[in-house]
Chains A and B, each alone.
Chain A
Amino acid sequence: MKFQAMANTASRWLKGDGPEAGIVFSCRARLARSLEGFPFPPWAEESKLRRVSEKILDAIKKSHYLKNARIIDVSELSSTEREFLLERHLISLEFTKGGRFRFLATEEEEMLSLMINEEDHLRLQTIFSGLQLTEAWRLIDRVDDELEENLDYAFLSRYGYLTACPTNAGTGMRASCMLHLPALVAARKINDILKSISQLGLVARGLYGEGTEAQGDFFQVSNQLTLGLKEEEIIDHVERITHRVVEQEKKAREALLKRNGIQIRNEVGRAYGILAGAHLMSSQEALDLLSKLRLGMCLELLPGLNVQTLNELFFLVTPAQLQIREGRGLSPLSRDQLRARLIREKLSKVR
C-alpha cells in the first residue's frame, strides 16, 4: 500500500496555529482553470486527457512552487488509497471515481496541491490553518500566475475563466472555511445561522465538501457566486461572514458554560472517559466524542490537550487513514479496535 509515510505525518494545516483555530479548523481557496482548445474532462477522450495532463505536468515542473511536488497517478490507486486522499482533503469526492490520466500533485506539507482532469482540466488549491483566507488567496494567485506562463487558459472577457460547469465560471474561485460549531449546534441555533449564511450568498456543506453531510459539528461554508466579483471581494466577504459566525459560536460557548456549566463539564468529562478507556470505537462515535473533547479543550476544561493533538486525532481515526497506516485492509471490527487503541495511546501521552 502507498502513502504509509504520509499517514504517519500530519498535513501542515492541522497544526492549528492559524488565527481563530479553535473554531476555524482550516480555510481553503481553490481555482478552476481550463486549457484552450481541449474538450472539458467530462467529455474528453483519453488521448485528449493525456495531452492535457502532459501539458499541465510540464508546467508544474517549471513552477517554482510546485517543481518538487509529489505527482500521484490516481488511476494506479486502490479505492482505500483514494479514500485516504479524500480524507486528507487532497482530492474531491468526484476524483475518487478515478479514471486514466487523472493526477494529483501535492507539495510535501499538503498546503498546496492540484488535481489534473477533475471536472476541469486544472483545480488548484491551498489550505491554511485557521482563518487566513487572504494568505490562501495570495499564495494561490502567485502559483496560478506561474502556471499561466506555460499554459493557455480558456478565458472570455465577459465570463472570465471558463469552466465545465457554468456555476464556476468567472473567477473560478471557491473560498471556504471549515468551522467547528458544537456550541451553536448544542444551543439549537445552527439552523438559523446556516439559513442567514445562505441569505448572505454563502453555502454550507459537510466535512468533505460537495455532496457530503455535516459530521462532528463541522460545517464548510463557501461563496456561492464566482462571476461578477473580484477575487479579493469574494475572499473578504467569506472572511467577514466567517468572523461573524465565529463571534456567534464564542458567545454560544460562553453562554453554555455559564448556564449549563455542570452539564458541559459532565459531557466533556464523559467523552474523555470513553475515549480514554474504550477498546472498540466506530468512526461515527469517535467523531462525536472528539467534537465534545475539542469543545472542552477550547473551554479550557482539559488543560493537557491542545488544538494540534485534537485536529490530528480527527484525521488519525478515519477509516482509510487507519488502513494505510497499518499497510493492509482491515475488517470493520479490527478498525474499531485499532481506532480505540490509537486514541487511548494519544490521550495517555498528554495526561
Chain B
Amino acid sequence: MRKMLCQVCKIREANVHLKEIIGGEVRELHLCDICAKEKGLGEPFLPGFSLPELMLGLTDLEIPSSVEEGPECSGCGLSYEDVRKKGKLGCSLCYQSFREYLNPLLEKIHGKVYHSGKVPKKGKKEYRLDKKVYGLREKLKEAVRKEEYEKAAELRDELRKLEKDGRA
C-alpha cells in the first residue's frame, strides 16, 4: 500500500485516519502520531473533539501567504490575516468582504449548503427570494455543465422573471 503523508507536517507518515460523512460528502483527515497528539487526538475518545474544528485549524495552514496583503473588511477594517490569527471574524460584513476565503472554509465545515433554518421576520420575503434565485442559479450551472441547453434556457428565463419580480 502506498504510504500517506501527514496533512499537517507533510513529513511523517500518517497513521491516524479520520473519516466523516456529512450530506453524502466524505471528508477525511490523515495525521501522523505526533501531529495528532498536538491536535489533542492522543486518546481514543476526546471530549471536545470535532472534525470541523480540526479542519478549521488545518485550513489555517493551507492559506497561501499572499493573503497577508489581501483586502481589508469594509466594516471593521481588519485583514483576513488578522481574522485568521485570532480565529474569529471581526464583524458581520467580514462574511462578504472575505467571501473568497470564507466560502470554501464554510463548505469545508458545513458541506455545500444554503441556510434553511429560521429567518428574521424583517426582510423575510427578500430572504425567500434570494434562496429561490440561488437554487435556480445552481440548477442552471448544472444544466450548462451537462450541456442541456434547452433546460438551461428555461432556467435562465425563469431566473430573469424572478429577479425582475423581486425588484418590482
CB within 8 Å of B: which residues of A?
34, 36-40, 42-43, 119, 141, 144-145, 148-149, 152-160, 162-167, 169-171, 173, 190-191, 194-195, 198-199, 201, 203-206, 210-214, 219, 224-231
Contact = CB atoms under 8 A, between A and B. Distances in A.
B88 A40 contact: yes
The interface centre, meaning the residue of B22, B76, B109 with most chain A CB atoms within 10 A of its CB, is B109
A205 B115 contact: no
B48 A205 contact: yes
Interface string B20-47: 1111000000000000000000001101
B16 interface: no
B115 A43 contact: no
30 contacts: A38-B91, A43-B86, A119-B88, A153-B120, A155-B123, A155-B127, A158-B130, A163-B89, A166-B105, A167-B53, A167-B109, A191-B44, A195-B44, A195-B45, A198-B20, A204-B45, A206-B48, A210-B48, A213-B47, A219-B47, A225-B22, A225-B109, A225-B111, A227-B110, A227-B115, A228-B23, A228-B110, A228-B113, A228-B114, A229-B116
Contacts of B21: 199
Given A162-B95, A204-B47, A40 B90 contact: yes
B115 A167 contact: no
B92 interface: yes
Interface in B97-130: 102, 105-106, 109-111, 113-123, 126-127, 130
A103 B95 CA distance: 26
Given A42-B86, A167-B53, A229 B47 contact: no
Given A39-B91, A40-B90, A224-B51, A141 B45 contact: no
A66 to B, nearest CB: 18
Contacts of B66: none
Given A173-B117, A228-B115, A165 B130 contact: no
Contact of B126 (A157, A166, A203, A204): A157
A190 B120 contact: no
| Main SS at interface, chain B | loop
Given A170-B115, A199-B20, A205 B47 contact: yes
A201 B123 CA distance: 31
Interface of B: 20-23, 44-45, 47-53, 56, 75-76, 78, 86-92, 95-96, 102, 105-106, 109-111, 113-123, 126-127, 130-131, 134
A72 B139 CA distance: 51
Nearest to A190: B45
B71 to A, nearest CB: 17
Contacts of A141: 118
Contacts of A157: 114-115, 119, 126-127, 130-131, 134
A198 to B, nearest CB: 7
B91 A40 contact: yes
Nearest to B134: A158
A229 B52 contact: no
B127 A169 contact: no
Contact of B121 (A38, A145, A171): A145
Contacts of A198: 20, 49-51
Contacts of B88: 40, 42-43, 119, 164-165
